[in-house]
């Protein structure tokens, strides 16, 4: 049974702000990459991503670079031992995506807040077509007609506009709250992943040291241990883990 704090891919993509951002950057097709990386919770080679998503390797790299620009994926590269090619592997950080989106929403909310605070308390005259606003004294000079299109302007109360702005602020507050809760759960999952990774590294180092003490190593080519000074051990040392 999954920990109640864990987030599934379905729950992640159900958040419309998350999905809209990802689709805007990588398209509906690229969501297949996000799903693979989210469920893996580790580095995945772009060849594996290409094979599992049926997307060309070059396209995989191009799409993920778009997310890398926002620091919500990162990559490492390793030189292939026999041919000398670089193999790129990628990891997705949904908690960083949530933080990025929260910051964008907070900036938008603060802009609206400043707009409400700076709103005049007086009625004004407004031309919807030209987006022109004039206070009473200024509108009177133009006989209450728009100075651009000369159509009759409509009187508008700032109370009505503020009501609409405050509704937008309320909606943003709800979205920020929802994303913040989601980020807390994603942060928890990242902490768990880092702890599991730390334990695995310590175990691997302990096993490597135990083999080294015996004059042996683990061969990634043969998937077995070799004595360092043996013929095959010397030949396969390039594959030592």
88 and 102 share one domain: no
Same domain for 110 and 72: no
* Residues spanned by the domain of 82: 9-92
N residues, the chain = 241
Question: What's the token pair of residue 177?
Answer: 């709250």
pLDDT for the residue 121: 65
Q: Which residue has the higher pLDDT, 232 or 17?
A: 17
Mean pLDDT value of segment 117-142: 82
192 assigned to some structural domain: no
Token representation of residue 114: 């400043």
> Both 105 and 167 in a single domain?
yes
**Among 181, 200, 224, which residue terminates a domain?**
181
- Euclidean distance between CA atoms 238 and 82, whole angstroms: 9
For the segment 65-123, what is each residue's pLDDT rounded down to a tens digit?
A: 999 999 999 999 988 777 778 889 999 999 999 999 999 999 999 999 888 776 666 67
In a domain, 4, yes or no: no
What is the tens place of the pLDDT at every residue in 2-51? 565 789 999 999 999 999 999 999 999 999 999 999 999 999 999 999 99
Residue 175 structure tokens = 């979205």
Q: Spell out where 10-116 has E strands.
A: 44-45, 73-79, 86-92
Edge to edge, the sheet with strand 44-45 lists: 44-45, 86-92, 73-79
CA 48 to chain CA centroid, nearest Å: 21
What is the Cα–Cα distance from 111 to 103, expressed in whole angstroms? 12
* Strands 124-127 vs 154-156: parallel, antiparallel or unpaired: antiparallel
Residue with the two structure tokens 């993509």: 13
pTM, full prediction: 0.76
Within this chain, do residues 85 and 103 fall inside the same structural domain, yes or no?
Answer: no
Asked if residue 1 has pLDDT above 60, the reply is no
């Amino acid at each position: 049974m999954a920990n109640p704090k864990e987030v599934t891919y379905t729950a992640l993509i159900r958040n419309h702000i998350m999905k809209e951002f990802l689709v805007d950057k990588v398209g509906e097709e690229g969501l297949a990459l996000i799903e693979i990386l989210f469920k893996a919770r580790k580095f995945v080679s772009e060849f594996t991503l290409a094979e599992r998503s049926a997307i060309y390797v070059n396209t995989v790299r191009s799409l993920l670079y778009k997310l890398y620009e926002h620091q919500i994926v990162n990559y490492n590269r390793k030189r292939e031992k026999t041919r000398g090619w670089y193999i790129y592997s990628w990891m997705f950080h949904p908690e960083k995506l949530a933080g990025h989106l929260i910051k964008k929403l907070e900036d938008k909310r603060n802009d609206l807040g400043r707009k409400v605070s700076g709103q005049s308390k007086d009625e004004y005259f407004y031309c919807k077509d030209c987006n022109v606003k004039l206070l009473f004294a200024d509108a009177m000079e133009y006989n209450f007609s728009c100075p651009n299109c000369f159509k009759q302007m409509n009187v508008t109360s700032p109370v009505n506009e503020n009501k609409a702005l405050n509704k937008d602020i309320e909606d943003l507050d709800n979205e920020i709250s929802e994303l913040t809760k989601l980020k807390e759960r994603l942060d928890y999952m990242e902490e768990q992943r880092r702890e599991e990774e730390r334990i695995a590294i310590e175990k691997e180092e302990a096993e490597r040291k135990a083999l080294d003490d015996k004059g042996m190593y683990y061969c990634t080519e043969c998937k077995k241990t070799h004595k360092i000074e043996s013929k095959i051990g010397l030949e396969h040392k390039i594959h030592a883990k």
